[in-house]
Structure 1
Amino acid sequence: MGDGQQVATAALRPLRIALIGNPNSGKTSLFNQLTGLNQKVGNFPGVTVDRKTGVAQLTATQRAEIIDLPGTYSLYPKSLDEKVITDLLYDKAADNYPDFVVVTVDANNLRRSLLLFTQLGDLGLPAVLALNMMDVAERHGINIDLPALELELGVPIIPMNARKGIGVAALKIVMAQRLDAPPVRFWEPDDKMLPLVRQIRYYFNLHNDYLALHYAQQYRQIGFLSADEKDHIQELTQKAGFDATAAQAAETIARYSRINEILLETVTVVRTEKREPVSNRIDKVLTHRVGGYLIFLGILFLLFQAIFAWAQYPMDWIDQGISALSATIQTNFHGPLVRLLTEGVLAGLGGVLIFIPQIALLFGFLAVLEETGYMARVTFLMDKLMRPFGLSGKSVVPLISGLACAVPAIMGARTIESWKDRMITIFVTPLMSCSARIPVYTVLVALVVPDQAAWGVFNLRGVALMSLYLLGLFSALGSAWVLKTVLKARERSYFIMEFPVYQWPRWKNVGLTIYQKVRAFVLQAGQVIVAISVLLWVLASYGPGQQQATAEAQVRQQATAQQWDAPEVNRRVASVRLETSYAGKFGHLIEPAIRPLGYDWKIGIALLTSFAAREVFVGTISTIYSVGQDADMGTLQQKLSAERDAAGQPFFTPARAFSLLVFYVFAMQCMSTLAVTYRETKSWRWPLAQLLYMTGLAYAAAFVVYQVLA
């Protein structure tokens, strides 16, 4: 396709704009301001790194697609998620190649931030500089001569406070215009490199020397190059005696020298604070080697107390509403389709909707911790704890993310450069209790743990919930310690991170996070839960041959002989029909294997269906006990409390409930997690090892708990 055709094609579609910047430069806040709810999450082509895209309304008639790229400090990627930036920006023929980039820059730390900008400028990319955190810079006495800085950099500069939306309107006006590449060049390859650079440039038909140099530097990591093309570049670099490390170091030194010259001409600093900055004084408390851990545990404890105490009322309303709707439908309508709707669809839907308050609270708390800057301090604190277990500080972010979902958490391990640390992190992350386990935990804890306060302050159910999360954490650390002795690697890992400025949470961003996570839970997990619930209802309602009819006839004969009342007859008939159904037959088949754990065939069905996703367990038992008992029994908790064993005693005793809870703490019951482990490791050895190890650990732990408590 010629340049004229490319321009014509670009004119027919909305602008495509890439958002790029250093970590903690305000890029996410700006993305949320530009796109609002018009966001979606996918994967970059060929990789599993999350790609957030959104639509921004720039003017009344102009819209733009915004691509939120991973945070990075330079165009020399050190991790797999940073690699997607180079794959996107180095290939003009890519389908999602941007028309220009918006570079978010921290006005409080221009020297560091401008390194990335100068590299992008030398690539010849049209750009806008979003000069963020101007309020923080002013408080620190940093005065920036914007016209002079614009002249030096050769691009439009928009002063901003992205968290409060200041400057967003001005940025949209500039983004709606057609921008040219900056005329300024900040660094050029020296004469010794030029023969190699020009050979690569003309062979690949590249538009400038600096891009050709990056091909020479990074050809092994550039995903769109073929094996033959990589071999050709390798041959050229070997002939030229090209030292990539030395060239990169010389370039970085030269760039910082040029940046210093620019800042001397455009920035003045007036020291306004004679005392130690407030953030440093706060950090001394929050990162204290003893007090810091106690504060973090206190915050976690508050979170788990809130998940039970604050979410209980809306959960009860949802549960009662679903039960009332189901009873109303069954009272006014009859037939197989009505039973499918009430015992299959509504029972499964209730197993999804009831946990929205808890999911919202969990992600709301995590978003507030991230927004305030506290989560970065947590990763720093936990680095000291992780090292003895064979993990680095960079492992902390995936492990903490695992509290939400193991799938993006495992993808987050791409930021870890050390192969050994990365493999250990991927292997143990599923042991962290993710949000999908919350439905299982809360149902079972509510069954056997009394809803009362301990020491007059703490809710016992909240204490039990936090204990399950800590059990997952300690098992992950213990497994990592064992694995570090098995894996052998000579490389050393380092943990370097920058603390973001403390700020009040931006409630719009918190709300967006809650909305996106709840929506993902309802649409993704909900679809699986409802589909399996409907399938399970069919399997639980019908059986082979005439076995159900024969069993029902025997029960009715016995009822006539013993003069049972109508409710008892209906309960016995429903129970025997379930036991002789397809689901019941399969449950009885696997019951001998799980009987030592205290489980019966009904729980066995739930265990198997929840291998699709952990939270399916609740939808399954909701459907099973809807079919097996009176439909008007009430809420799920009432149905489970009413379940009896062969001796007529309550089935869900503390021994069985805690055995199930421990099983779900350890068990690998998520097909998506196994799939993403395979994609990240490029081998079936790791996901199979995860499955066997975690299933064996879950079985052994559940067996011990049941045998001790029974």
Structure 2
Amino acid sequence: MSVFTAASTAAAPLPLVDQPGPGLPDFSRLALIGNPNSGKSSLFNQLTGLNQKVGNFPGVTVDRKTGVSWLTPQHRAEIIDLPGTYSLYPKSLDEKVITDLLYDRTSAQYPDFVVVTVDASNLRRNLLLFTQVVDLGLPVILALNMMDVAAQHGVHLDVPALERALGVPVIPMNARKGVGVAALKIVMAQELAAPRSRFYTPEADLAPLVAQIRARFDLHNDYLALHYAHQGAHIKFLPAEDRAFLQELTARYDFQPTARQAQETIARYARINAIMLDCVSVTRTEQNESYSNKLDKVLTHKVWGYGIFFAVLLLLFQAIFAWAQYPMDLIDRGIAGLSGLIQDRFDGPLVNLVTEGILAGLGGVLMFVPQIALLFAFIAVLEETGYMARVTFMMDKIMRKFGLNGKSVVPLISGVACAVPAIMSARTIENWKDRIITIFVTPLMSCSARIPVYTVLIALVVPDQKVLGFFNLQGLALMGMYLLGLGAALLSALLMKVLLKTKERSYFIMEFPVYKWPRWKNVGITIVEKVKTFLFQAGKVIVAVSIILWVLASYGPGQAQQRAETRVRAQAAQQQWAPAETETRVASAKLQESYAGVFGRTLEPAIRPLGYDWKIGIALLTSFAAREVFVGTMSTIYSVGQDADMRTVQQKLAAEKDVNGEPVFTAARSFSLLVFYAFAMQCMSTLAVVYRETKGLKWPLLQLLYMTGLAYAAAYAVYHLLR
């Protein structure tokens, strides 16, 4: 492996870039750029130590992420991980993140140099982006990633010859395992100049256009000026008058961007092909290719492929219920035992706050950690192996019938984890209509925050028994809820396909990543990070909500609670109730006269048609902050008026009675709640990210109204059909 400095390069004589870049200070800023699935995120993690999401399918990074790396004890670098792209001509919002950064040399975030990661097993295609970056005049390092995959495919690269031909440092590496990272840091810490090679010169007839753009914007080379001509109307950091100038100028010169881009691509590949002939030799390993192709013929089969995917989902939901049950029960009993131990030894308002408020709320979420961990473990394995990309490909044909395309599968499947990053991942969809429809329907997919709601309600009304001797009935019910969300998303997409009119045509191109055994370290990191996010983000909300709810449920306006207690005790003395029953009824009466009771009874008329009482109404409102809060809220509310011996979440909900002495959580009411939560808007964070991604209030408000109306109507129908 050679350690390279630009000053010592013996590259073939080529036209010079107009102005070489400056040397690097003790602090530098570098950008990681590369094709999708070329290992950028893995390299970012190796350099910074951050555990960014790494997946074996395109579209993992949809926004730029930053971290810090010490290249030497004296040299610190800010690393910017950019979304994957095949060229510097953006066709989707995530790719525009790259051009927005590289076009603006006055930006405080403008990189000092760029590391272009390429897949060594597919070098020819990856070098197109590299040559474009070089022509922008930035100092560049080529990270020759996936050398192990290239060797498996019989691809042999002459690295010194490649350095000479390209005129930049070339570092062979395997970012997944950290091989070559130390050498890359050494080169990054050196003083790099802009490459002296130019791979493409704009056609002579474009010279007047390019010259005017360079003069107007004080640009440092012709190729950057050419990009202003291509993208001028969409460069957001330019003021409106500058964008208007570019549009008028390109119209005056009859500039045809599509044709010019095609000419450029052909010219670049002519140069790339010559380099490949000199630096790359290939010995075909037909056995490996045959094995991969045979596997794809099964996993992407037009019939068996869908059956296998359905079986994978069935296994996932069976595991969530069956495998997680023991640790869930252990956590639930542990929280209940701790609460009972504290209540047995201490007394007072503070103790009640801790046991009936904080512990009750947190306990309603902590018990679902095993299920959340299993869910993300399955998703991580599917991504790591490369199977997720195959699912995206298979679903494209189906998705198009509903106004979506194959790239919509990534947000929809990601929505099973969380709608917020799922909606952001829709940036990879080029077509405006497909992207808006995907954003609109993704929240209908059941996210991980709904698992606590689904689990506790299913456990109340669905028997824990086997079907066909193997399938757990509760697991099948959980899978049914997820399929219900998917069905609602597809039907809603079909409706929007009819309502939204656009002439823009969509297309779908998917590159299959190679099959890989999952890196269990990455899977473990994913599980830990997602569980931490689930606990700490939801935990903060739950603690705050639990404290507020306990106060609202424990105190009331004026003397209403005292009068209610006096009335109930008089009735108890008259009818000779047992002491335990008397205390339970006193607590229940005081709860109804509390601030929470007053608020809940005000809300109750709106939700009574669904079969819900005021307690459920409070839970519906608080869970808009985060879906997990529903179970915590119910646990907190019922802790205030519940028998002290009933301390687990399951016991509290099962023991709740209505005014007629009947169980509150009947099949009709429970399934009505399940359907309501399947269709209702997930949380405030989801609305916020839809607002950010659509740049306005129109779509989030329409989304909120549509999903709320759908949830209400469906819950009403289910309740009245089953009662």
Same fold by TM (over 0.5)?
A: yes
The alpha carbon displacement at 1:175 in A equals 2.5
Change (3 A) 1:601 1:229: same
Contact kept in structure 2, 1:38 and 1:55, CA below 8 Å: no
1:407-448 CA-to-partner distances (Å, cap 9, x unmatched) read 222222222222221221121111111111111111111111
Task: Give the distance between the partners of 2:679 and 2:607, measured in 1 at CA.
Answer: 16
Corresponding residue number in structure 2 for 1:707: 720
Corresponding residue number in structure 1 for 2:370: 357
Contact kept in structure 1, 2:385 and 2:517, CA below 8 Å: yes
* Pairing 1:406–2:386 present: no
The alpha carbon displacement at 1:606 in A equals 0.7
Identity percentage over the alignment?
A: 73
Corresponding residue number in structure 1 for 2:118: 105
* Pairing 1:695–2:708 present: yes
Q: Secondary structure at the residue paired with 1:558?
A: helix
Q: Which of the residues 472, 477, 488 maps onto 1:475?
A: 488
Corresponding residue number in structure 2 for 1:462: 475
The alpha carbon displacement at 1:709 in A equals 1.6
After TM superposition, the structure 1 stretch with the greater mean CA deviation from structure 2, 441-450 or 290-299, is 441-450
* Pairing 1:420–2:442 present: no
Q: Secondary structure at the residue paired with 2:582?
A: helix
Task: Give the distance between the partners of 2:45 and 2:527, measured in 1 at CA.
Answer: 13
* Pairing 1:285–2:298 present: yes
Corresponding residue number in structure 1 for 2:205: 192
1:349-405 CA-to-partner distances (Å, cap 9, x unmatched) read 223322222222111111110110000000011111112112111211111111111
Q: Where does 1:324-363 land on structure 2 (aligned, <5 Å)?
A: 324-363=337-376
Contact kept in structure 2, 1:447 and 1:652, CA below 8 Å: yes
Corresponding residue number in structure 1 for 2:79: 66
Q: Secondary structure at the residue paired with 2:156?
A: strand
Corresponding residue number in structure 2 for 1:628: 641
Q: Which of the residues 560, 568, 574 maps onto 1:561?
A: 574
Contact kept in structure 2, 1:529 and 1:619, CA below 8 Å: yes
Corresponding residue number in structure 2 for 1:3: none
Task: Give the distance between the partners of 2:341 and 2:511, measured in 1 at CA.
Answer: 58
Task: Give the distance between the partners of 1:463 and 1:170, measured in 2 at CA.
Answer: 52
Contact kept in structure 1, 2:34 and 2:40, CA below 8 Å: yes
1:501-551 CA-to-partner distances (Å, cap 9, x unmatched) read 000011222222222222222222222222122211121111111101110
Q: Which of the residues 580, 588, 601 maps onto 1:575?
A: 588
Contact kept in structure 2, 1:39 and 1:53, CA below 8 Å: no
Corresponding residue number in structure 2 for 1:45: none
After TM superposition, the structure 1 stretch with the greater mean CA deviation from structure 2, 679-688 or 434-443, is 679-688
1:221-241 CA-to-partner distances (Å, cap 9, x unmatched) read 212111122122223323333
Q: Which of the residues 638, 657, 664 maps onto 2:677?
A: 664
Q: Which of the residues 530, 541, 546 maps onto 2:554?
A: 541
Task: Give the distance between the partners of 1:58 and 1:303, measured in 2 at CA.
Answer: 42
1:196-215 CA-to-partner distances (Å, cap 9, x unmatched) read 22222232222222111111
1:134-192 CA-to-partner distances (Å, cap 9, x unmatched) read 12211222111110001111121111222222222222222233322222211122222
The alpha carbon displacement at 1:632 in A equals 4.5
* Pairing 1:136–2:149 present: yes
Contact kept in structure 1, 2:679 and 2:707, CA below 8 Å: yes
* Pairing 1:248–2:261 present: yes
Task: Give the distance between the partners of 2:508 and 2:635, measured in 1 at CA.
Answer: 46
The alpha carbon displacement at 1:130 in A equals 1.3
Which amino acid counterpart does residue 391 of structure 1 have in structure 2? L
Task: Give the distance between the partners of 2:51 and 2:148, measured in 1 at CA.
Answer: 28
Change (3 A) 1:589 1:72: same
Task: Give the distance between the partners of 1:574 and 1:308, measured in 2 at CA.
Answer: 34
Q: Secondary structure at the residue paired with 2:416?
A: coil
Q: Secondary structure at the residue paired with 2:68?
A: strand
Change (3 A) 1:528 1:110: same
After TM superposition, the structure 1 stretch with the greater mean CA deviation from structure 2, 209-218 or 643-652, is 643-652
Task: Give the distance between the partners of 1:632 and 1:53, measured in 2 at CA.
Answer: 51
Tell me, which stretches of 5 or more residues in structure 2 are unaligned?
A: 1-20, 55-60
Corresponding residue number in structure 1 for 2:16: none
Which amino acid counterpart does residue 686 of structure 1 have in structure 2? W
The alpha carbon displacement at 1:60 in A equals 4.4
Task: Give the distance between the partners of 2:528 and 2:187, measured in 1 at CA.
Answer: 30
The alpha carbon displacement at 1:129 in A equals 1.3
Task: Give the distance between the partners of 1:352 and 1:208, measured in 2 at CA.
Answer: 57
Corresponding residue number in structure 1 for 2:456: 443
Q: Which of the residues 286, 295, 314 maps onto 1:301?
A: 314
1:303-328 CA-to-partner distances (Å, cap 9, x unmatched) read 11111122222222222222222222
The alpha carbon displacement at 1:107 in A equals 0.8
Q: Which of the residues 379, 383, 399 maps onto 1:370?
A: 383
Task: Give the distance between the partners of 2:106 and 2:362, measured in 1 at CA.
Answer: 45
Contact kept in structure 1, 2:41 and 2:53, CA below 8 Å: no
Corresponding residue number in structure 1 for 2:12: none
Task: Give the distance between the partners of 2:191 and 2:705, measured in 1 at CA.
Answer: 56
Change (3 A) 1:341 1:15: farther
Task: Give the distance between the partners of 1:107 and 1:49, measured in 2 at CA.
Answer: 23
Change (3 A) 1:628 1:565: same
Tell me, which stretches of 5 or more residues in structure 1 are unaligned?
A: 1-5, 42-47
Task: Give the distance between the partners of 1:164 and 1:336, measured in 2 at CA.
Answer: 55
After TM superposition, the structure 1 stretch with the greater mean CA deviation from structure 2, 427-436 or 27-36, is 27-36
Change (3 A) 1:50 1:563: farther
* Pairing 1:273–2:278 present: no
Task: Give the distance between the partners of 1:566 and 1:52, measured in 2 at CA.
Answer: 62
Corresponding residue number in structure 1 for 2:15: none
Q: Which of the residues 87, 104, 114 maps onto 2:100?
A: 87
Which amino acid counterpart does residue 411 of structure 1 have in structure 2? M
Q: Which of the residues 335, 351, 374 maps onto 1:322?
A: 335
Task: Give the distance between the partners of 2:52 and 2:176, measured in 1 at CA.
Answer: 18
The alpha carbon displacement at 1:631 in A equals 4.2
Task: Give the distance between the partners of 2:94 and 2:299, measured in 1 at CA.
Answer: 29
Corresponding residue number in structure 1 for 2:18: none
Corresponding residue number in structure 2 for 1:511: 524
TM-score, normalised by the number of residues in structure 1: 0.94
1:460-508 CA-to-partner distances (Å, cap 9, x unmatched) read 1110100000011111111111221111111221111110000001122
TM-score, normalised by the number of residues in structure 2: 0.93
Contact kept in structure 2, 1:38 and 1:54, CA below 8 Å: no
Task: Give the distance between the partners of 1:566 and 1:191, measured in 2 at CA.
Answer: 98
Task: Give the distance between the partners of 2:76 and 2:97, measured in 1 at CA.
Answer: 25
Task: Give the distance between the partners of 1:249 and 1:37, measured in 2 at CA.
Answer: 39
* Pairing 1:211–2:224 present: yes
Q: Secondary structure at the residue paired with 1:16?
A: strand
Change (3 A) 1:606 1:62: same
Corresponding residue number in structure 1 for 2:602: 589
The alpha carbon displacement at 1:7 in A equals 8.0
Contact kept in structure 2, 1:40 and 1:54, CA below 8 Å: no
Task: Give the distance between the partners of 2:301 and 2:258, measured in 1 at CA.
Answer: 38
The alpha carbon displacement at 1:61 in A equals 4.7
Task: Give the distance between the partners of 1:187 and 1:308, measured in 2 at CA.
Answer: 58
Contact kept in structure 2, 1:543 and 1:582, CA below 8 Å: yes
After TM superposition, the structure 1 stretch with the greater mean CA deviation from structure 2, 542-551 or 318-327, is 318-327
After TM superposition, the structure 1 stretch with the greater mean CA deviation from structure 2, 196-205 or 359-368, is 196-205
Contact kept in structure 1, 2:22 and 2:193, CA below 8 Å: no
Aligned residues: 697
Q: Secondary structure at the residue paired with 1:277?
A: helix
Q: Which of the residues 589, 595, 598 maps onto 2:611?
A: 598
Corresponding residue number in structure 2 for 1:429: 442
The alpha carbon displacement at 1:38 in A equals 6.1
Which amino acid counterpart does residue 409 of structure 2 have in structure 1? V
Which amino acid counterpart does residue 355 of structure 1 have in structure 2? F
After TM superposition, the structure 1 stretch with the greater mean CA deviation from structure 2, 19-28 or 143-152, is 19-28
